[in-house]
Amino acid sequence: MRTKEELLTKIYGFSEFKSGQAEVIDSVMETGQTLGILPTATGKSLCYQLAGYMTSGTVLVVSPLLSLMEDQVRQLQALKEKRVVALNSQLSMSDKQWVLSHLSDYKFIFISPETLLQPVVLKRLMQLEIGLFVVDEAHCIIEWGIDFRPEYEKLLDVYRDLNARRLLALTATATLEAEREIKAKLFPSEPDVIRRSVDRENISYYVEETEDKYNRLKELIGKMKGPGIIYFSSKKQAEVVSKQLESDLSESVTFYHADLTQQERSLIQTQYIKGQIRILCATNAFGMGINKKDVRFVIHYHLPSSLEAYLQESGRSGRDGEDSVSIILYQKGDERIHYFLQEALIEEVEYFKTFVSFSEKKQKDSLSLLSELQLKWLENDTHQSENRDQLFGKLEDRIKEKSENIESVLRYLKDTNCRRVHLLRYFGEKKSKKTTFCCDNCDGYGKITNDETLVSVYKNTKESSWEEMLKNLFNFG
């Protein structure tokens, strides 16, 4: 068996590991249970790929998004790995049957929690030797779970059913409380935790309050260079703003969200990665694990749902290590959309409580009124008050958590001190050294390389407005 260093050179052509990679690989190989918390752009996928090559049996990777699975499959195929497949809803019935009958031919199988829990799929997987069970983007276990994709709540049971030899969970962000929750929900016993700082020194953080958000966005995009992502909470707004920008700026702009067909999303993702599209207006359906290294800026048109989501999304810029910027455009009242979604969940829970109190006949008559999520709750309903109380307790905790998340974002916006310090403190870290390219609240100067020219600008001084600062920063005079 080759060493991990030999495999790193032979398969990937790298001479050394990025921070945390070697430690995660060593940990899961030695202990069998590891939670890796490594910041965006540090190559988390290499951890499970290389560990998979070092162990016998199949590597089963639970992945949250179809686009992410496709991207990871393509990456492995580019490394000349042919024994890889994405087992998901995009397969035709005949293709799915063929894959299921040939599962043992694959080294790497990517799968969503929903597909994984299908009885026919689970039964077939139980016949394999699962050498490594991987939960990619493990923060989804706590960000989604009971109120969105309850299948995430059952991954520990599946891991046990499959009798997998090793369990590896990977994420870019987790507060200390989130770490405890992931461990409790996913691992049968205390795992080894490999954590690296969430600090991305090459990303500068800005917040701007504006009364004319679209025109400010148009101005920024018209001046800034390089590819960018604009995040929206609304699919409709992502489409509308995308079309407006494309018309007003004559730029290559398009939109991306979950209501597009898989073929449309795959095409857009490929075009964006190849540089055929410069600006992408997207919901949080885009970006998780997508390997585009040269994104220069991420702008939040709407508020992120939490600081965890913000760090994930802003971290999609500057994967190449070059200086990049993250901007939140805030307009008073922006938080209303998150409170609306919170109220919608409260109403969904209250109706479900009412529904389960109905007689059997009335439940049958009212079944068509249940949402897809409520039907999943009903599917797991045991009619035992203890279990129902546990479900309702989880949902009430989730509602409270959503409220706390948006409040944490608002506190970040209002903070007049260093934004990087604020983010690091939220994740239980301290700023260890001065970062010259920092945030709109910091004194001193920042730097960015633009057209191979190093430009230093003084920031947050009485002489420099926000507009002048960005003008100098990106050399777009």
Minimum mean pLDDT range among 125-129, 141-145, 425-429: 141-145
- Distance (Å, whole) CA 445 – CA 204: 11
Instruction: Using the predicted structure, report yes or no on whether residue 452 has a pLDDT greater than 90.
Output: no
Cα–Cα nearest to 360, from 381, 339, 376: 381
Mean pLDDT value of segment 210-235: 90
Burial (CB < 10 A; 0-12, 13-18, 19+), residue 29, is middle
Instruction: Using the predicted structure, report yes or no on whether residue 471 has a pLDDT greater than 50.
Output: no
- Distance (Å, whole) CA 477 – CA 473: 10
With beta carbons less than 8 A apart as the criterion, state whether 167 and 133 touch.
yes
Q: How far does the chain reach from its first CA to its final CA, in angstroms? A: 57
- Describe the strand order of the beta sheet including 203-209 as a list of residue ranges: 203-209, 324-330, 297-300, 228-231, 279-282, 253-256
Q: How many CB atoms lie within 10 A of CB 269?
A: 22
Q: What tokens were used for 228?
A: 């960018």
Instruction: Using the predicted structure, report yes or no on whether residue 206 has a pLDDT greater than 80.
Output: yes
Instruction: Using the predicted structure, report yes or no on whether residue 447 has a pLDDT greater than 50.
Output: no
Mean pLDDT value of segment 257-263: 86
Q: Compare 460 and 179 and report the one with higher pLDDT.
A: 179
The backbone region for 275, taken as left when phi is positive above 0, alpha when psi lies in -120 to 50, beta otherwise, is left
Give CA torsion, residues 104, 107, 113, 117, to 10 deg.
Answer: 10
Give me the residue label for tokens 């590991």.
17
- Spell out the residues 6+ positions from residue 210 whose beta carbon is closer than 8 angstroms to its own: 216, 329, 330, 331
Give the predicted TM-score (pTM) of the model: 0.81
State the pLDDT confidence band at 147, using cuts at 50, 70 and 90: low
Q: What tokens were used for 22?
A: 């070697």
Structure confidence by residue, pLDDT tens digits, 288-316:
767 788 999 999 999 998 999 999 899 99
pLDDT of res. 281: 96
- Distance (Å, whole) CA 289 – CA 65: 10
Q: Compare 126 and 137 and report the one with higher pLDDT.
A: 126
pLDDT of res. 441: 86
Instruction: Using the predicted structure, report yes or no on whether residue 183 has a pLDDT greater than 70.
Output: yes
**CATH number among 3.40.228.10, 3.40.50.300, 3.40.50.720, 3.10.20.30, domain 4-195:** 3.40.50.300
With beta carbons less than 8 A apart as the criterion, state whether 25 and 55 touch.
no
The rounded Cα 202 to chain-centroid distance in angstroms is 20
With beta carbons less than 8 A apart as the criterion, state whether 230 and 282 touch.
yes
State the pLDDT confidence band at 51, using cuts at 50, 70 and 90: very high
Instruction: Using the predicted structure, report yes or no on whether residue 86 has a pLDDT greater than 50.
Output: yes
203-334+410-473 architecture in CATH? 3-Layer(aba) Sandwich (3.40)
- Hey, is 36 helix, strand or coil? strand
Instruction: Using the predicted structure, report yes or no on whether residue 458 has a pLDDT greater than 60.
Output: no
State the pLDDT confidence band at 402, using cuts at 50, 70 and 90: confident
Query: What mean pLDDT, rounded, does the chain reach?
Result: 85
108-111 and 192-195 beta bridge pairing: unpaired
| Alpha carbons within 13 A on the beta-carbon side of 265 | 22
Minimum mean pLDDT range among 28-32, 78-82, 263-267: 263-267
Sign of the C-alpha dihedral, residues 133, 137, 142, 145?
negative
Sign of the C-alpha dihedral, residues 417, 419, 421, 425?
positive
> What are the beta bridge partners of residue 456?
447
The rounded Cα 223 to chain-centroid distance in angstroms is 28
Q: What tokens were used for 71?
A: 């991207």
Instruction: Using the predicted structure, report yes or no on whether residue 477 has a pLDDT greater than 50.
Output: no
Q: What tokens were used for 305?
A: 């749902």
| Alpha carbons within 13 A on the beta-carbon side of 77 | 10
pLDDT of res. 266: 83
Radius of gyration of the chain (CA): 23
Minimum mean pLDDT range among 177-186, 388-397, 454-463: 454-463
CATH 3.40.50.300 residue window(s) in the chain: 4-195, 203-334+410-473
Q: How many CB atoms lie within 10 A of CB 267?
A: 14
Give CA torsion, residues 396, 402, 408, 409, to 10 deg.
Answer: -170
- Spell out the residues 6+ positions from residue 351 whose beta carbon is closer than 8 angstroms to its own: 369, 374
Minimum mean pLDDT range among 32-36, 139-143, 366-370, 441-445: 441-445
Instruction: Using the predicted structure, report yes or no on whether residue 253 has a pLDDT greater than 70.
Output: yes
Q: How many CB atoms lie within 10 A of CB 382?
A: 9
Cα–Cα nearest to 286, from 275, 307, 308, 270: 270
